[in-house]
């Protein structure tokens, strides 16, 4: 097993890893901006050096409390030459399967990271994901590459470190503001196996907000030896339309983040959202999900400012009237700041009380307006 380490953070793989410390630059930069402290980024390639100030400014604008700190680094006079190969980060969800299908003639490697979606101590969950990714790799004739890292979940037992704290991400916005830099770190750590790496998009171009992996940000982490590509500005439904054309892919989808049971729980928001999309596209029964979808379960889902964007897309997807009404109810609960409906009398009384309080606050605000 090969390992790269830097200040308590490590990345492992059975395959050769980079002999440069450049892989740690994205991590150092994001934490430095978050903490408002200048840190020495070390030696960077000319291409990455030309983008560091832009990356800093983007994160400074996105992160609450982020600052446009001075950057300290040296430019390498001899940037590494690119190796051969094209890779795709693969999680087994709709986004990564869509990018795999889209670039199936170009992509050679699928990269599965142990320690991103599940804690390192959860060997069972990673084993399930590894089995699914292995099946996908065989289906498309690709090589599966696994990497392991403590970037997300572990807090190294180290004394205080000057100018930098390697610990469970303290970046405002948490992992979802930080994960793009973590993906870039893995991509550069695996530089000996590729010259190009695709990162499947999370959101469409129509619904872009500050997010760790972003079409504005991901390409800026590129170097002369590794090009990083943010792929897929299509909507979630547009991606699903492509995925359902491959029934063998649909049966392999793994989107659940609750890690209950052996695959997808069929009860969490992400499972329900994906099942709704499949149902709208005429897939009444998908082997990857249990048969749990009902209007009542849809109404009970608690949305947030991120997920509501994809739920609004479902309203135009061609759902049955009962499911479409349930989707509208879940969206309304979020927009009105109400607890989701679940058919429980006590919860419905609570909804009425919350709604009454909102109305009273609105009336009071209007009364004080000049």
Structural domain boundaries of the chain?
A: 2-231, 258-349
Q: Which of 107, 195, 181, 108 minimizes the C-alpha distance to 149?
A: 181
What residues of the chain score a pLDDT lower than 50?
155-169, 362, 366
pLDDT at residue number 176: 82
| pLDDT value for 365 | 52
pLDDT of amino acid 260: 60
**Residue 118 pLDDT:** 86
What pLDDT is recorded for position 279? 96
Which pLDDT value is given to residue 53? 96
- Determine the pLDDT at residue 200: 97
How far is residue 257's CA from residue 263's CA, in Å, rounded to a whole number? 10
Contacts 24+ apart (CB under 8 A), 226-230: 226/82, 226/187, 226/188, 226/191, 226/194, 226/195, 226/196, 226/197, 227/82, 227/195, 227/196, 227/197, 228/183, 228/184, 228/187, 228/197, 228/199, 229/196, 229/197, 229/198, 229/199, 230/199, 230/201
Position 355 scores a pLDDT of: 54
Residue 153: the pLDDT is 72
- The pLDDT assigned to 276 comes to 98
């Amino acid at each position: 097993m090969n390992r790269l380490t830097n200040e308590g953070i490590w990345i492992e793989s059975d395959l050769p890893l980079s002999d440069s410390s450049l892989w740690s630059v994205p991590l150092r930069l994001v934490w430095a901006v978050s903490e408002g402290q200048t840190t020495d980024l070390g030696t960077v390639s000319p291409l990455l050096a030309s983008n560091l100030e832009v990356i800093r400014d983007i994160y400074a604008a996105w992160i609450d409390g982020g600052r446009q700190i001075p950057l300290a680094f040296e430019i390498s006079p001899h940037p590494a030459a690119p190796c051969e190969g094209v890779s795709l980060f693969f999680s087994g969800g709709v986004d990564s399967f869509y990018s795999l299908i889209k670039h199936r003639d170009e992509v050679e490697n699928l990269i599965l990271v142990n320690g991103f979606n599940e804690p390192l101590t959860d060997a069972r969950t990673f084993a399930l994901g590894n089995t699914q990714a292995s099946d996908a790799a065989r289906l498309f004739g690709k090589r599966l590459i696994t990497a392991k890292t403590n970037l997300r979940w572990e807090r190294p037992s180290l004394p205080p470190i000057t100018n930098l704290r390697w610990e469970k991400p303290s970046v405002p916005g948490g992992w979802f503001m930080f994960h793009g830099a973590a993906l870039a770190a893995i991509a550069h750590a695996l530089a000996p196996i590729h010259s190009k790496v695709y990162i499947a998009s999370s959101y469409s171009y129509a619904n872009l907000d500050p997010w760790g992996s972003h079409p504005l940000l991901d390409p800026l982490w590129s170097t002369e030896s590794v090009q990083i590509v943010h792929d897929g500005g299509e909507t979630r439904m547009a991606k699903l339309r492509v995925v359902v054309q491959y029934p063998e892919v649909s049966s392999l989808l793994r989107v659940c983040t609750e890690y209950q049971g052996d695959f997808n729980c069929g009860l969490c928001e992400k499972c329900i959202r994906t099942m709704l999309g499949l149902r709208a596209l005429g897939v009444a029964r998908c082997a990857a999900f249990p048969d749990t979808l009902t209007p009542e379960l849809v109404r009970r889902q608690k949305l947030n400012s991120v997920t509501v964007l994809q739920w609004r897309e479902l309203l135009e997807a061609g759902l049955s009237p009962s499911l479409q009404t349930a989707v509208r109810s879940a969206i309304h609960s979020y927009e009105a700041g109400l607890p989701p409906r679940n058919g429980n009398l006590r919860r419905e009384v609570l909804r009425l009380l919350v709604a009454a309080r909102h109305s009273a606050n609105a009336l009071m605000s209007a009364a004080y307006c000049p």
